A and B are shown apart, each in its own frame.
Chain A
Amino acid sequence: MNDVHNKDLNDALKFHFGHDDFRLGQKEIIESIMNGYDTLATLPTGSGKSICYQLPALLGEGITIVVSPLISLMVDQVKLLKAEGIKRVAALNSLMDPKQKSVVLNQLNQYKILYCSPEMLQQQHVTERLSLMKIDYLVIDEAHCISQWGHEFRPDFLRLKDVIRQLDHPTVLALSATATPAIQEDIMKQLEIDMNKLIYPIDRPNITFSVSEIPSEEKLAHLIDILEHKKVPTMIYFSSRKMSEFVCRSLQKEFPDREVAFYHGGMEQQDRLLIQQQFMHDQLDIICCTSAFGMGVNKGNIRLVIHYHMPPTIESLIQEVGRAGRDGQPSVSIVLYSPGDEGLPFQLIQSELPSENEVEFYLNGRESGQNPEEFLDESKIRFLRLQDEQIKPFERIGDKKQAIMEYRNERERVKSNGVLQLLEWIQTSSCRRTELYSLFQNNVMPASAACCDRCDFSLHEWQNLREEERRQQTSFQDNWVSLLEQLLDRKVQS
């Protein structure tokens, strides 16, 4: 396909997505896969990663399969594409009931893009169906999940190399926003294919970094101080649902003239959708949320991202901070840290991995034909099941246990290192921008606004500068008749 001309691609971009120009890297990645090269690409979050496969998919003759680790991400992508007017897309995941799945599988030729969870691709009837199709591209989104060195290792992803073979090796695109050089190498090693590497810097010159180290009992007051003069679109991340609600209420009281809402995974779907859309439509000033918020959030003018708690990893920090200033305007990231905050991420690691006793309990239970799974957490079961399967060669339970424990301890080490790395960053005395991004790339661009509190930024001075961005007013005072008239653009005949 060497006849891909510049103009054709640009026209297609305009036609399907309404953009005039490609952003950095998009065109190179698109051309690489359209020319049939297996490609590994990194692009910063919010830079339009998905267009890199969506456009080729729409231009191709067959179907494009996108493997995505998070179901919510998948569902959001399908929704966004449909809202763009691109209807020939579908998702296939374990949350769907058998009937919904078979509807999708029975009309595969209707789709240009099929989002698929990795576990669906483990099922033979799915791969058999897919292998009958002409598959243009197989896209692996969040490809760092394939690497055990990665913070988000997903064992399911390891089996993708078999899937690629079963599907007669279509052109593969592996995408990530947070893959260190070591992980990039590991992705290729695990997939067992040689790939065209297109590595784009993930640093964001328009974001200023700042960390406030304060005792935890002063956090709320400090937060209120920061927000006092900053009436700008703000996200505040929390590591617990309860805290997001609690702080939201405090801010509502403190700033009665602002719209503050909370968002977390414990809310009903309908409410989540409303809050997310209000934020996108500039009807909210401040959103207090957990990491559940953010999938598919495509809002350009977020000026301030605050982490009320330390995030679990450096990668999640980069990802969440990356939601700020997508319009290129100066934006600020503030992490509030109290000594001891790291306890929670460490605890989280322990709660996700089975203990030695639990491993033993699981293996013995399996041996004696019981069902030990009833007593274990979901994430532990998934871990144990896969390990049990992968280390079949060991006959003796003792050997099996040892092998699982070695592996478990390795995961613990990788994850703990992630926390320690972030802790180091919080306590660093050198430039935060350089420290943060040099883990992922060799050169870090100079800041386009203020750099960080270790270089040229003073939180104190900045926070006293009054900033205000207009929000769309949607009053609670409107009565039903005026709402009806306004929204349906009609008048009651008197």
Chain B
Amino acid sequence: MIRYDDLLLNLFHLIENERSMSSIYYLLKGKKSSQTIQDAYLFQMENSYGILKNLSKQHFTEAVQRLADKQLITIEKEQIYLTDQGRRRVLQLDQSMFVLLKGHIYHKSDHLFKDTLLLLFQTVSMLIQKQNRFIPIVDQPYVQTKVKKILLAYRKNVKQLADQLFEELYRTLSVVPDQSATLFMQQFSGYQRIGKSMQQLADHTGWMKEDIHLHTFVVVHQMMSIIEQKREDFPLLSNLIEKHSSRLTASAQRTQELFHAGKTFDEIVEIRNLKESTIQDHFIEMATYHIDFPIHDFLPDDKLKRVLEVIQHAETKKLKPIKELVGEDISYFQIRLAIAVINQRKKVSV
């Protein structure tokens, strides 16, 4: 079971000596700075990016102090050092539980997903009992609009909507551990039952509120990835997640399919009978929107590094001056891919 203090300790372990403790605070808050984002990937802690957006500095400082009181860490001038005891604790941690968090992918959409689900659930639960007057448990107008749209799409066929919601929730929640699913469901409101707040669940379990929060978002992220893996299997819940891949143009999608099927760039140009520059554009699109784009297939590490360095130091984002600086052996296409990769990280992570 994931716990806040363990997560913190693990993160401090990852950055030890190299970054200040505030960098972890910014990571958890999901600060939109390139430093925070680059660090997230550099230290391989991107899955924790933005998972505690409402964390206050005070709560964070208290948590750090708690770790120090337990003699797991020492604090020296904003730097965190793990004690031997802390190190042993990290070794005992089950790393697989952290992997279930997917902050780098979902930090932008997870709250919206959860809020929309809470309101949709309450609405359906009330409507099947013929209660159409109730106080919506989520205030935000855009969430309410979204739920209204879904209701309209089902042409107010509440029974069918309830069947579908029940079935899809059952399928997704069956995959997560029972205890987490229960903590999650207890936050839901509906007919004759108002959900528990995270504070109440924390008081009841004797955990901290942050623990409940992490649990909740482990469940949310798991649900979201299950749904995204096969959207067509979740005709209702997939409406609650904005499509990322749909940002690719149809033609680029076709190119991507061929690429995933193992075709090379030149083969794709030939198969699709399109201009080389068009296929290049498709690859730029893919690199911009997909985190797992294999940039190294197109740009060896040393060259990528050179481009990134130049871009970082150059005052301009224009291609020509950058091309002049990086030298003859790197093509425009390669520079554009490098920029796309930078943007892609910013986009997915900000």
Interface residue? A391 (CB, 8 A): no
Residue pair B165, A488 in contact (C-beta under 8 Å): yes
Residue pair B134, A278 in contact (C-beta under 8 Å): no
Residue pair A275, B197 in contact (C-beta under 8 Å): yes
Q: Closest CB of chain B to A214's CB: distance in Å?
A: 28
Residue pair B129, A489 in contact (C-beta under 8 Å): yes
Residue pair B186, A484 in contact (C-beta under 8 Å): no
Give per-residue flags for B169-192: 1 if the beta carbon is below 8 A from chain A beta carbons, else 0.
110010000100110111011111
With a CB–CB cut-off of 8 A, which chain A residues contact B182? 478-480, 483
Interface residue? B138 (CB, 8 A): yes
Give per-residue flags for B277-314: 1 if the beta carbon is below 8 A from chain A beta carbons, else 0.
00000000000000000000000000000000000000
Kindly state the separation between the CA atoms of A476 and B134 in the bound complex, as whole angstroms.
23
Residue pair B190, A274 in contact (C-beta under 8 Å): no
Interface residue? B94 (CB, 8 A): no
Please give the number of chain B residues whose Cβ is less than 8 angstroms from any Cβ of chain A in the complex. Answer: 45
With a CB–CB cut-off of 8 A, which chain A residues contact B165? 488
Interface residue? A80 (CB, 8 A): yes
Q: Closest CB of chain B to A74's CB: distance in Å?
A: 13
Enumerate B169-220 residues with CB–CB distance to A below 8 Å. 169-170, 173, 178, 181-182, 184-186, 188-201, 203-204
The contact of B163 among A85, A478, A490, by CB within 8 Å, is A490
Enumerate B124-149 residues with CB–CB distance to A below 8 Å. 124-125, 128-129, 132-139, 141
Residue pair B204, A487 in contact (C-beta under 8 Å): no
For B129, give the chain A residue with the smallest CB separation.
Answer: A489
Interface residue? B121 (CB, 8 A): yes
Residue pair A277, B169 in contact (C-beta under 8 Å): no
Residue pair A489, B192 in contact (C-beta under 8 Å): no
Interface residue? A472 (CB, 8 A): yes
Kindly state the separation between the CA atoms of A338 and B253 in the bound complex, as whole angstroms.
73
The contact of B186 among A261, A478, A490, by CB within 8 Å, is A478
Q: Given the known A-B contacts A252-B203, A476-B204, A488-B162, are A281 and B192 also in contact in the complex, defined by CB atoms under 8 Å? A: yes
The contact of A484 among B132, B185, B198, B204, by CB within 8 Å, is B185
Residue pair B190, A488 in contact (C-beta under 8 Å): yes
Q: Given the known A-B contacts A85-B132, A273-B139, A277-B137, are A487 and B186 also in contact in the complex, defined by CB atoms under 8 Å? A: no
Report, as a range, how many residues of chain A touch the other chain: 35 or more
Kindly state the separation between the CA atoms of A277 and B204 in the bound complex, as whole angstroms.
19
Interface residue? A474 (CB, 8 A): yes
Residue pair B203, A492 in contact (C-beta under 8 Å): no
Interface residue? A283 (CB, 8 A): yes
Interface residue? A269 (CB, 8 A): yes
Q: Closest CB of chain A to B182's CB: distance in Å?
A: 4
With a CB–CB cut-off of 8 A, which chain A residues contact B115? 270
Interface residue? A454 (CB, 8 A): no
Residue pair B129, A480 in contact (C-beta under 8 Å): no
Q: Given the known A-B contacts A273-B137, A273-B139, are A484 and B189 also in contact in the complex, defined by CB atoms under 8 Å? A: no
Give per-residue flags for A70-108: 1 if the beta carbon is below 8 A from chain B beta carbons, else 0.
000000000110011100000000000000100000000
Residue pair A83, B197 in contact (C-beta under 8 Å): no
Residue pair B198, A271 in contact (C-beta under 8 Å): yes
Kindly state the separation between the CA atoms of A136 and B111 in the bound complex, as whole angstroms.
42
Residue pair A488, B124 in contact (C-beta under 8 Å): yes
Q: Closest CB of chain A to B87's CB: distance in Å?
A: 35
Enumerate A237-275 residues with CB–CB distance to B below 8 Å. 249, 252, 261, 267-271, 273-275
Kindly state the separation between the CA atoms of A281 and B139 in the bound complex, as whole angstroms.
18
Residue pair A277, B194 in contact (C-beta under 8 Å): yes
The contact of A270 among B133, B138, B185, B203, by CB within 8 Å, is B138
Q: Closest CB of chain B to A478's CB: distance in Å?
A: 7
The contact of A83 among B135, B178, B188, by CB within 8 Å, is B135
Q: Given the known A-B contacts A269-B139, A478-B186, A489-B162, are A281 and B124 also in contact in the complex, defined by CB atoms under 8 Å? A: no
Kindly state the separation between the CA atoms of A270 and B132 in the bound complex, as whole angstroms.
21
Residue pair B197, A271 in contact (C-beta under 8 Å): yes
Best-buried of A84, A478, A480 by chain B (most CB within 10 Å): A480
Q: Given the known A-B contacts A480-B173, A484-B169, are A268 and B54 also in contact in the complex, defined by CB atoms under 8 Å? A: yes
With a CB–CB cut-off of 8 A, which chain B residues contact A281? 192-194
Q: Closest CB of chain A to B13's CB: distance in Å?
A: 30
Q: Given the known A-B contacts A271-B197, A480-B181, are A487 and B191 also in contact in the complex, defined by CB atoms under 8 Å? A: yes
Q: Closest CB of chain A to B229's CB: distance in Å?
A: 21
Interface residue? B166 (CB, 8 A): yes
The contact of A488 among B136, B166, B196, by CB within 8 Å, is B166
Q: Given the known A-B contacts A476-B196, A489-B128, are A274 and B186 also in contact in the complex, defined by CB atoms under 8 Å? A: no
Best-buried of B141, B163, B197 by chain A (most CB within 10 Å): B197
Sampled A-B contacts (16; CB under 8 Å): A83-B135, A83-B136, A249-B203, A271-B197, A271-B198, A274-B189, A476-B196, A478-B186, A480-B184, A480-B185, A480-B186, A483-B182, A487-B121, A487-B193, A489-B191, A490-B166
Known A-B contacts: A273-B135, A273-B137. Give 5 more (CB < 8 A).
Answer: A480-B185, A488-B121, A488-B124, A488-B128, A489-B128
Interface, chain B (partner A; CB < 8 A): 54, 115, 121, 124-125, 128-129, 132-139, 141, 162-163, 165-166, 169-170, 173, 178, 181-182, 184-186, 188-201, 203-204
Interface, chain A (partner B; CB < 8 A): 79-80, 83-85, 100, 249, 252, 261, 267-271, 273-275, 277-278, 281, 283, 472, 474, 476, 478-481, 483-484, 486-490, 492
